[in-house]
Structure 1
């Protein structure tokens, strides 16, 4: 009778269908998509200066989700070697070999094609084209060129994450107005403090992976100073929306902006004095700041309050 070789107790098991499905969802980085969608809806409400068609909002969110998921999945393919090294990202699907790289690439490309077709059919060609442009910029410019070559990677690469507000505006109006560009700038200047605070915490991870994030190539004091500078520019830039908004937005922009600046300065002071600093507080606060700012924008626009106008 043939002998049967026992299977070691610690031998890896084939992933279940549920595991594979969750892995594909993880490729899209849902938490990042949530933040992008938080900014898209307020941009659409501001464009309408009221409540746009619920169907238009839904279709724009669906198309935006597919576009962001496409960019994130393709980013996972290109960055698989980095993700496998860094503690923060080693649980991602490609780093754990739950999904083959080829399948992930096909998945990302298909999502991108579907997002273009969906947005063109349900909104307009401008919104669809900008969604594809954001995908290509994030993957080809940021992920493949900037991320591994310059400490300014997240500054310019972050432009892709600013596109949802412009896409949302274009879906409503069919063009790109100046308030859309101001919202783009708010997120653009918000991105460096947000990611550099995270990178300060995981500096060793980025250094080990060979990614020249600013905290890897600069001193903590220099990084904290840059965070303060970008924070002030971000808050000042957010005030440029005042002529198109009302008192609700004004109140939240001032209060939330001041709140953010206090924490940015506290981080800089602690680092400069060589005292214990917790950059993750600023990182988490940055998420809350952006959410509150755009929530105030949404409420202000939905209520249809009189705009402050020029001068404000």
Structure 2
């Protein structure tokens, strides 16, 4: 004889929603923004390898690996601090509502503790593995993203991405300093490329999520100045980025492979930016063609930066056999 289940009238969805959410290892990894971390580490490695190729200075492989780990930890620390401070707006925006803190998996106090501890460990590791200059630059980059961008800029000005973009531009300079203990012009050229890449990259995403930013009261450019102005700015920065990316060729930092990559990738980037400019991306209600144009630019912008810096690693990783003389 079958017995009635006394819990059969209870909605299982309600039971699930009331169940405690325990943190997993994956939650702590997500707290450190691993996708951003991978790009940060890659550009930092490009700076390190380029410095070896240009200067001929040898680096102990173990020390180089530890320095690269320090860059990764520093990036993760800044990400954790950002998630700690932005937990309130992350909970409002659909795109970020599944992050560990809004889900209740990781308490805010744990996030800031993790961020601060990792900040100290990463800077100390960098100093021990390389030199004080690289450690100071790493500390500056963490403070720039975790404090200056996250706490001072993001909620106050539509230029938050422009000014705050410097935070993500430091890694190749740090990588260069690991090798030489200095930050020469070539290192800052790589900084400038990432700095000018950031606005069109992020504004393409902002056009897609402007409603979310408006709901969270974050003054992103599409919210404060409208979609048309944002599309104009995306095109302007893209037109500046394309020739700036060729500047390393003039100093001899970029060789034949880099020159070809920068030229082709720059043309594609500008073409996609023009497509966004001509579209109605960011329109309300959302128009499919405009959304597709913004998505294409956002996706390609990530590939653009990866391939551009991969070209440097390829050239200098082979001993700069393809290097061109400075002009």
Name the TM tier (shorter chain): over 0.9
Structure 1 unaligned regions, length at least 5? none
- Counterpart-to-counterpart distance in 2, 1:15 and 1:94: 11
Could you say which residue in structure 2 is the equivalent of 1:30? 34
Asked whether 1:58 is paired with 2:73, we answer: no
- Counterpart-to-counterpart distance in 2, 1:286 and 1:166: 21
Residue 37 of structure 1 deviates from its aligned partner by: 1.3
More displaced 10-residue stretch of structure 1: 134-143 or 111-120 = 134-143
Which of 274, 286, 305 is matched with 2:321 structurally? 305
Residue 52 of structure 1 deviates from its aligned partner by: 4.7
Could you say which residue in structure 2 is the equivalent of 1:173? 180
Q: CA RMSD in A?
A: 1.9
What are the Cα deviations for residues 176-205 of structure 1, in whole angstroms up to 9, with x where unaligned? 011110000000000000000000000100
Q: SS where residue 232 of structure 1 aligns?
A: helix
- Counterpart-to-counterpart distance in 2, 1:284 and 1:54: 33
Which of 206, 212, 231 is matched with 1:205 structurally? 212
Could you say which residue in structure 2 is the equivalent of 1:14? 20
Please list, as runs of the form range in 1=range in 2, the aligned pairs for 1:76-95 lying within 5 A after superposition.
Answer: 76-95=83-102
Which of 86, 96, 120 is matched with 1:113 structurally? 120
Residue 245 of structure 1 deviates from its aligned partner by: 2.2
More displaced 10-residue stretch of structure 1: 257-266 or 296-305 = 296-305
Asked whether 1:265 is paired with 2:269, we answer: no
Could you say which residue in structure 2 is the equivalent of 1:67? 74
Total equivalences in the alignment: 304
Residue 124 of structure 1 deviates from its aligned partner by: 1.0
TM-score, length-normalised on structure 2? 0.89
Paired residues of 1:127 and 1:170 also in contact (CA < 8 A)? yes
Q: SS where residue 246 of structure 2 aligns?
A: helix
Paired residues of 1:44 and 1:52 also in contact (CA < 8 A)? no
- Counterpart-to-counterpart distance in 1, 2:181 and 2:189: 17
More displaced 10-residue stretch of structure 1: 120-129 or 188-197 = 120-129
What are the Cα deviations for residues 199-248 of structure 1, in whole angstroms up to 9, with x where unaligned? 00001000000001011112322111111111111111111101222111
- Counterpart-to-counterpart distance in 2, 1:197 and 1:90: 20
Which of 24, 39, 44 is matched with 1:40 structurally? 44
TM-score, length-normalised on structure 1? 0.93
Asked whether 1:282 is paired with 2:289, we answer: no
Paired residues of 1:45 and 1:52 also in contact (CA < 8 A)? no
Could you say which residue in structure 1 is the equivalent of 2:150? 143
